[in-house]
Amino acid sequence: MDKKDLQKLLEQVACGGIKPEEAMLQIKTEPYKDMGFAKLDTHRGVRQGMSEVIYGAGKTKEQILKIAQLMVEEQEKTVLITRMSQEAAEYVTQFLPLHYDEISRTGIIGDMPKPDGVGKILIATGGTSDMPVAEEAALTAEIYGNEVVRLYDVGVAGMHRLMNHVDDIMTARVIVAIAGMEGALASVIGGMADCPVIAVPTSVGYGANFGGLSALLSMLNSCASGISVVNIDNGFGAGYLASMINHLEGKRT
C-alpha cells in the first residue's frame, strides 16, 4: 500500500463506503516482514510514497526471487530490482514476469505507471559509456511515475551537440547530468538551466579518473548554482531524487 492507496482508503471510510474496522485490518499489518535473510519494509510506500527497491548486487538469485515474490504478494504494483545480473534475471523470469534491461542491469516486475509528475525529467550524459548509469536513473524515474527525456552523448568534447537541445534543457523541471572523465557536463548544464540539476559522477575514464573520484570532486566544486551531487555511478539515487522533486507542487511547465 502506498500513500495514494492509503488516502483512497481513508476517503472511503469518511464517506461510509467502508467500515473503520475493515480499513484497520488493511492497515494493521506488521511494518516489515522478517524473512530471516532480509527484512522487507512493507510500510515504506506509506511513509515515503515509494516502495522498497531490491538491490541485486551481493544477493543470490534465490534471495532476489523470494523478496520479489513477497513484494508481489504484498500487492506491490511495480517491483524494481537494481544491479541485477543476467543469471539472476534468467532465474527470476522462470517464476515471475520480469522485464530485464541489460544495459542498466535493471529488473522490473509489474506495470509501468502513467506519468503523474509535474513536468519532465531530463537525463543527459557526457558520453555513450555513461548509458548504463543513465538508464538506471531513467528507468527509476519512469517507475515512479515521471515522463523522462533522454539526451545521450552530449559531453563538452562537442558542445554543439548539447546546444542543439537548449529547449529541452529550458523546459525540464529536473535535470540529471551524468558524466565521467572530468565531469564538466553538470557545470555546463547547471549554468544554463533554471531548475535543479542532479549530478552523477561515473567511473568512466582513464587512470587519473580514479574510478570516478575526479568527476565527483569536479561536480562537488562546481561554481554553477543549483547543483546537487549523488554518489559515483548512483543512477538509482539520482532518478529517485529527481522523482521526488518532480512530484512537488509548484512550478509547472
Name the grid cell of 174.
529536473
Predicted confidence (pLDDT) per residue in 175-223, tens digit = 999 999 999 999 999 999 999 999 999 999 999 999 999 999 999 999 9
Question: Range with the lowest mean pLDDT among 6-10, 52-56, 62-66, 160-164?
Answer: 6-10
Q: Which three cell numbers stand for residue 69?
A: 515474490
* Sole residue written with cell 529547449: 167
All three cell numbers of 88, joined, read 539472476
Interval 18-76: pLDDT, tens: 888 777 666 656 576 777 877 777 766 666 666 788 999 999 999 999 999 988 887 78
Q: Decide which of 3.60.15.10, 3.40.50.1820, 3.40.50.1970, 3.40.50.300 is the CATH code for 120-246.
A: 3.40.50.1970
Domain map (residue ranges) of the chain: 31-110, 120-246
Rounded to the nearest 10 degrees, what angle do helices 235-246 and 131-143 cross at?
A: 40
What's this model's pTM, rounded to 2 decimal places? 0.84
DSSP string, 195-226: S-EEEEE-S-S-GGGGGGHHHHHHHHT--SSS
Mean pLDDT (whole number) for 238-244: 96
